[in-house]
Chain A
Amino acid sequence: MAAGFLQRERIVAPPGWSRWLIPPAALSIHLAIGQAYAWTAFKTALTATVMAGNPNAGVLTALPFQLAIVMLGLSAAVFGTKVDSNGPRWAMVIASACFVTGFLISALGVATGQYWLVVLGYGGVGGIGLGIGYISPVSTLIKWFPDRPGLSTGIAIMGFGGGALIATPLTNQLLAAFGGTAKGAAGAPGVALTFLTMGLIYLVFMAMGWLLIRVPADGWTPAGWTRPAPGAKVLGSANVSARNAIRTPQFWLLWIVLCFNVTAGIGILERAQDIWKDFFPGTLGAAALTAAAGGFAAMLSLTNSAGRIIWSTTSDLVGRKNMYRFYLGVGALLYLTVLLMTNTNRVVFLICAMLILSFYGAGFATVPAYLRDLFGTYQVGAIHGRLLTAWSVAGVLGPLIVNAIADQRIAAGVAGPGRYTTAFVIMIVLLVVGFVANELIRPVAEKYHEKTAGPAEKAGAQA
Chain B
Amino acid sequence: MSAQDTAPASGGRVAITVVAWLWVLIPFAYGLYQLIIKIPGLFGG
Residues of A within 8 A of B (CB): 9-18, 20-21, 24-25, 27-28, 31, 159, 162, 164-169, 205, 208, 212, 284, 288, 291-292, 294-296, 298-299, 301-302, 350
Chain A residues, CB < 8 A from B41:
288, 291-292, 294-295
Contact yes or no, B39 A295, CB < 8 A:
yes
User: Which applies to chain A's interface (DSSP): helix, strand, loop or mixed?
Assistant: helix
A205 to B28, CA, bound (A): 12
CB-contact partner of B35 in A15, A205, A301, A350, under 8 A:
A301
Residue in contact with A10 in the complex, picked from B4, B16, B21, B42, CB distance below 8 Å: B4
Query: Across the interface, which residues of A come within 8 angstroms of B42, CB to CB?
Result: 291-292, 295-296, 298-299, 350
Binary per-residue interface labels of chain B (18-45) against chain A in the complex, 1 for a CB within 8 Å, 0 otherwise: 0011011001101110111011111110
Residue among A17, A28, A167, A212 making CB contact with B7, cutoff 8 Å:
A17
- CB–CB A169/B34 < 8 A: yes
Q: What's the Cα separation between A167 and B34 when bound, in Å? A: 11
Set A31, A164, A284: member contacting B27, Cβ < 8 A:
A31
A13 to B5, CA, bound (A): 7
Q: Which of A11, A27, A165, A298 contacts B24 (CB 8 A)?
A: A27
Tell me whether A162 and B28 are in contact (CB under 8 A).
yes
Chain A positions within 8 Å of B13 at CB level: 16, 18
Do A9 and B28 have beta carbons less than 8 Å apart?
no
CA distance A212 to B41 in the complex (A): 40
Closest CB in chain B relative to A117 CB, distance in Å: 28
With A12-B4, A16-B7, A299-B39: A284-B44 Cβ-Cβ less than 8 Å: yes
List of B residues within 8 angstroms of A167 by Cβ? 31
Q: Is the CB of A25 within 8 A of B43?
A: no
Shortest A386–chain B CB gap in Å is 28
Residues of B within 8 A of A208 (CB): 20, 23-24
Asked if residues B20 and A21 are in contact (CB atoms below 8 Å), the reply is: yes
CA distance A387 to B30 in the complex (A): 32
Looking across the interface, which residue of chain B has its beta carbon closest to that of A166? Answer: B31
